[in-house]
Amino acid sequence: MKEIILKTNRLILRKPKMTDWKDLVEGIGEFDVAKMLSKVPHPYKKKDADIFIKKKIKKWKQKDKTDYMFYIELKSENKVIGAIGIHEIDKFSGKGKTGSWLNKKYWRNGYMTEAKIAVNDFAFNKLKLRKLNSDVYVENKASNATQLKMGYKLEGVRRKNNKSFLTGKIHDINEYGLLREEWLKRRKKLAI
């Protein structure tokens, strides 16, 4: 199977490499990033990054994929600044779930918007999914805003649903959904 690489103006979205560990430790190791992720150990160390990368590389090798984790590489720096994925793909139902994180040093530059557009295009146009879901901590203002910007609809709030490994805090989760036809309409208004 041909390697899947998604490219935007500033980013390359690609499968993980073992050499990405330093960028993961830097990005996920940041407290403000880790506290918005459910199952991230802190401090985040090389061994944590190695385990995570190996797990994701193994998923890329599976014949019947239900998970695509793209590492977000900033072209200008040849550096992984985050990750975005489509998980829990159910081909029968035609749906999947998205998730992402971004190194704090690169927040508020439109990188996640750029990456999410590319991944949504891939999900709906290449994988032929009919729906994407996305779960976001209620207090994660930036991620909630990104979902809405992409055209996701708030479908509900799951109360006291996730526990942060880092803080031990229990979080309410906003559950978003985006239908293929909604994306095709919204996509015309978004440029990358």
Architecture (CATH level 2) of domain 6-187: 3-Layer(aba) Sandwich (3.40)
Q: What is the pLDDT of residue 142?
A: 93
Q: Is the pLDDT of residue 191 over 80?
A: no
Condensed to tens digits (0 to 9), the pLDDT of residues 21-49 reads 999 999 999 989 988 888 888 889 999 99
Q: What is the pLDDT of residue 192?
A: 57
CA-based diameter of the chain, in Å? 43
pLDDT bracket for residue 152 (50, 70, 90): very high
Give the residue from 173, 85, 172, 64 showing the smallest Cα distance to 132: 85
Q: Is the pLDDT of residue 147 over 90?
A: yes
Alpha carbon separation from 48 to 24, 54, 180 (Å, rounded):
9, 10, 35
Q: Is the pLDDT of residue 1 over 60?
A: no
Q: What is the pLDDT of residue 189?
A: 86
Q: What is the pLDDT of residue 62?
A: 86
SS3 177: strand
Alpha-carbon gap, residue 166 to 50, rounded angstroms: 19
Q: What is the pLDDT of residue 168?
A: 86
Give the residue from 44, 187, 77 showing the smallest Cα distance to 123: 187
Condensed to tens digits (0 to 9), the pLDDT of residues 113-145 reads 999 999 999 999 999 999 999 999 999 999 999
The CB density around residue 92, as the number of other CB atoms within 10 Å, is 5
Phi, psi at residue 34, to the nearest 5°?
A: -60, -35
Domain coordinates of the chain in residue numbers? Answer: 6-187
What residues pair up with 106 in beta bridges, in sequence order? none
Give pTM, 2 decimals: 0.93
Q: What is the DSSP string of 18-86?
A: GGGHHHHHHHHTSHHHHTTSTT--SS--HHHHHHHHHHHHHHHH-SS-S-EEEEEEETTTTEEEEEEEE
Alpha-carbon gap, residue 103 to 32, rounded angstroms: 9
Q: What kind and span of H or E run contains 107? A: none
Alpha-carbon gap, residue 70 to 58, rounded angstroms: 13
pLDDT bracket for residue 2 (50, 70, 90): low
Condensed to tens digits (0 to 9), the pLDDT of residues 58-115 reads 999 888 889 999 999 999 999 999 999 999 999 999 999 999 999 999 999 999 999 9
Q: Mean pLDDT check: name the lowest of 10-14, 127-131, 168-172.
A: 168-172
